[in-house]
């Protein structure tokens, strides 16, 4: 207690505010030390944006904000109850717990930050919270691949709790109770100071992360925050659905709709339903017998891992398939999460700064997906997944929106290998082949979404199947190579099967493994493989700019399904005017639009519009002036998803009730 007793003069001077003041000072010291280490770790990026001064000044401001939020309740109660019999003893115990927990939260979140940055290139945010919803899967993953991180977290937590408890006990001992008439004044003044500190401004709106953003580099904008604030702010946003019109430049609804319609492959006259402004009849390009549809959704397979797209030499089977099939060389993902990929390839819904529709409340049923259309056309609609399908609400969303059959891990019989996220990709493809063969025997047309799991940290897969690309064996590169090996085995089976000639397959990634870097939106990290193959699909290298959003309408067209639907993706079996080719990307709260001329337009929350030329070789965004009509188009695309969700433009019962071929 020698060190603690050195603080006795301060305790005598500050009285009942002593524990509050010491908690504030300790919190700021902890957060500042963490920020120093993070900045040293990322010193090159900090220097590139000339961010040393900005990060630490804004960081101190945000740390004060965070601590003031933690102190409002203690500031209110402590002056009022200290010295009051019974109440004083009870509150001092609560205050000790409060301070101890607060110190632990600050230390633990900062300790977890480097590991999160390595994975997502930002401080802990909404993803951190969402993973906590699924403790079984996450703990299995952590135990398998992150034992050191778990051990460090436990050790740091125990040390923090031990010292925090001893320190807090000293802070609350022998506090001098103020006179009764001073108590409400002290409480009122300290609470007022905390509220002012938490708001950090006298303006109409309290401070938020966008007010201190200063760079194109998202991580640099995050370093002035602290991770406790970042996570709690994300939780606040999760309680409400973020509407893009509240954070991006606004447009009139009629202008948004007309711009979206103008950028489709159809004439404006094809859109005849004012209450469903993107609903139109789409004539399939294929005639004759209808085809089955299979989407092979690949976990975290960015173009950087695909040899056929100029990446690492890890995918010989996929590279060969690209040579034999319709190969979309310039297709981009809409986001960085699996549920964003599922949203794109099953519903064609534009990404928004809110969560993917897989997890939003209004889209849990009666929401359009191609499974709705195919189910109405008497297709058997199924989801095949080698893990627990409830993860990320996939099962609930899919069953509520046209899928009737879920084949997940509990339905697998004697899988060869089970890792943290489920059975291996060989087991998954064997299950898929079994299902496709069975449905073909029953003469049922089918639509199947097959989602792989192996290429996900902690990168566990059956050993002895491949020659490792690098060491240790549990790396992203080796799981990519193994997943490609499993794909090759499936292709051999499928080509010999009864369903091959009657099925349109598309292999596409859900997203890249990581999106990172010092660009406001790292466009190269959204480049993914997409290959369409199956019976009758001719080999073709397609260099048009495309998006995941273009796949569902293309698949319907290739399968011979003419139907009304609201999707604004292009049918790639038909011509797409060069000025209408585009990709859209949601990167955290930033939205990017890219066109065929490599013009890129980026929208940040409550910031000005940013316009660039994208260099596809260096992957750098070069500031550039762009035409007003392109900015208007990009703005409409950025706003369309939220508007469509809010106005129920994707409601299936409304779509279903419109007669087919209504536009002709």
Which residues are 610's β-sheet partners?
602
Of 577, 502, 493, 566, nearest to 536 by C-alpha is: 502
Is 299 assigned to a binding site?
A: yes
Beta strand pairing call for 292-298 and 530-534: unpaired
Q: What does the alpha-carbon distance between residue 36 and residue 28 come to, in Å, rounded to a whole number? A: 12
Name the helix (H) or strand (E) containing 663: none
Does 456 show up as a binding residue in the annotation? yes
Q: How far apart are CA 601 and CA 574, in angstroms?
A: 26
Residue in 529, 558, 557 with CA at minimum distance from that of residue 542: 529
Specify which residues 599 forms β-bridges with.
613
Residue 543 is classified by DSSP as E
DSSP SS3 for 492: helix
Q: Which two tokens stand for residue 570?
A: 């292009």
Residues paired with 327 in a beta bridge: 531, 541
The two tokens of residue 312 are 């690492």
Q: 3-state DSSP call for residue 408?
A: coil
- What is the C-alpha separation between 199 and 203, in angstroms, rounded? 9
Check if 483 is active-site.
no
CA 622 centroid distance within chain: 26
Q: How far apart, in whole angstroms, are the C-alpha atoms of residue 154 and residue 169?
A: 22
Whether the CB-CB separation of 528 and 512 falls below 8 Å is answered with: yes
Tell me the C-alpha distance between 211 and 500, whole Å. Answer: 55
b/e 561-599 (16+ beta carbons within 10 angstroms → b) = bbbbbbbbbbbbbeebeeebbbbbbbbbbbbbbbbbebb
* Catalytic annotation, pick one of 34, 325, 338, 483: 338
Q: Is 511 annotated as a binding residue?
A: yes
Bridge partner list, 506: 295, 532
Question: Is 565 annotated in some ligand binding site?
Answer: no
d(CA 289, CA 378): 14
Using left for φ > 0, alpha for ψ between -120 and 50, and beta otherwise, residue 350 falls in beta
**Nearest CA-CA partner of 424 in 486, 336, 472:** 486
Spatial contact of 381 and 294, defined as CB atoms under 8 Å apart: no
End-to-end CA distance of the chain: 86
Neighbour tally for 522: CB within 10 Å: 22
The secondary structure of 249-263 as a DSSP string is: ----HHHHHHHHHHT
CA distance 316 to 314: 6
Q: For residue 655, count other CB atoms closer than 10 A to its CB.
A: 21
Annotated binding site for substrate: 456
Which are the catalytic amino acids? 338
Annotated binding site: 299, 456, 510-511
Annotated binding site for Mn(2+): 299, 510-511
């Amino acid at each position: 207690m020698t060190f603690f007793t050195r603080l006795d003069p301060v305790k005598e001077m500050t009285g009942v505010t002593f524990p509050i003041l010491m908690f504030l000072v300790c919190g700021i010291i902890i957060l500042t030390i963490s920020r120093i280490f993070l900045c040293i770790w990322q010193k090159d990026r900090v220097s590139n944006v000339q961010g040393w001064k900005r990060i630490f000044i804004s960081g101190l401001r945000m740390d004060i904000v965070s601590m003031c939020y933690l102190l409002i309740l203690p500031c209110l109660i402590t002056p009022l109850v200290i010295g009051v019999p019974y109440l004083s003893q009870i509150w001092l115990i609560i205050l000790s717990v409060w301070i101890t927990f607060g110190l632990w939260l600050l230390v633990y979140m900062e300790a977890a930050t480097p590991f999160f940055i390595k994975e997502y290139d930002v401080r802990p945010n909404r993803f951190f919270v969402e993973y906590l919803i699924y403790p079984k899967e996450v703990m299995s993953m952590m135990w398998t691949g992150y034992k050191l991180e778990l051990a460090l977290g436990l050790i740091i937590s125990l040390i923090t709790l031990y010292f925090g408890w001893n320190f807090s006990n000293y802070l609350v001992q022998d506090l001098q109770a103020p006179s009764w008439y001073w108590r409400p004044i002290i409480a009122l003044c300290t609470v007022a100071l905390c509220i002012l500190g938490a708001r950090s401004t006298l303006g109409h709106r309290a401070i938020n992360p966008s007010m201190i953003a200063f760079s194109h580099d998202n991580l640099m904008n995050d370093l002035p925050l602290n991770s406790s604030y970042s996570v709690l702010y994300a939780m606040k946003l999760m309680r409400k659905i973020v509407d893009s019109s509240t954070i991006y430049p606004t447009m009139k609804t009629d202008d948004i709709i007309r711009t979206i319609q103008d950028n489709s492959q159809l004439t404006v006259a094809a859109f005849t339903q004012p209450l469903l402004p993107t609903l139109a009849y789409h004539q399939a390009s294929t005639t004759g017998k209808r085809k089955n549809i299979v989407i092979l959704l690949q976990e975290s397979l960015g173009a950087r891992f695909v040899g056929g797209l100029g990446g690492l030499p890890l995918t010989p089977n996929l590279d060969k398939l690209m040579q034999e099939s319709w190969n979309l060389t310039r297709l981009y993902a809409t986001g960085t999460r699996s549920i964003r990929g599922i949203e794109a390839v099953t519903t064609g819904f534009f990404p928004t700064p809110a969560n993917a529709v897989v997890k939003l409340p209004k889209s849990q049923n009666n929401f359009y997906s191609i499974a709705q259309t195919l189910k109405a056309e008497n297709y058997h609609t199924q989801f095949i997944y080698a893990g627990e399908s409830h993860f990320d609400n996939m099962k609930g969303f899919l069953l509520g929106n046209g899928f009737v059959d879920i084949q997940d891990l509990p339905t697998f019989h004697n899988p060869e290998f089970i890792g943290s996220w489920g059975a291996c990709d060989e087991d998954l493809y064997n299950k898929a082949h079994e299902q496709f063969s069975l449905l073909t025997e029953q003469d049922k047309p089918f639509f199947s979404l097959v989602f792989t799991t192996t290429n996900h940290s902690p990168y566990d897969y059956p050993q002895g199947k491949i020659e490792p690309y690098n060491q240790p064996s549990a790396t992203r590169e080796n799981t990519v190579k193994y997943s490609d090996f499993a794909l090759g085995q499936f292709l051999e089976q499928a080509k010999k099967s009864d369903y091959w000639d009657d099925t349109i397959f598309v292999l596409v990634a859900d997203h890249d493994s990581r999106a990172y870097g010092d660009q406001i939106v790292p466009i190269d990290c959204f480049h993914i493989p997409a290959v369409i193959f199956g019976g009758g699909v001719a080999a073709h290298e397609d260099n048009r700019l495309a998006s995941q959003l273009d796949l569902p309408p293309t698949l319907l067209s290739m399968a011979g399904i003419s139907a009304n639907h609201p999707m604004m993706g292009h049918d790639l079996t038909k011509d797409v005017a060069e000025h209408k080719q585009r990709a859209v990307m949601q990167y955290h709260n930033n939205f990017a639009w890219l066109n065929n001329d490599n013009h890129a337009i980026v929208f940040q929350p409550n910031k000005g519009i940013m316009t660039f030329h994208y260099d596809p070789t260096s992957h750098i965004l070069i500031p550039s002036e762009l035409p007003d009509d392109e900015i208007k188009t990009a703005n409409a695309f950025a706003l369309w998803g939220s508007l469509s969700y809010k106005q129920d433009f994707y409601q299936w019962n409304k779509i279903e009730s419109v007669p087919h071929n209504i536009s002709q």
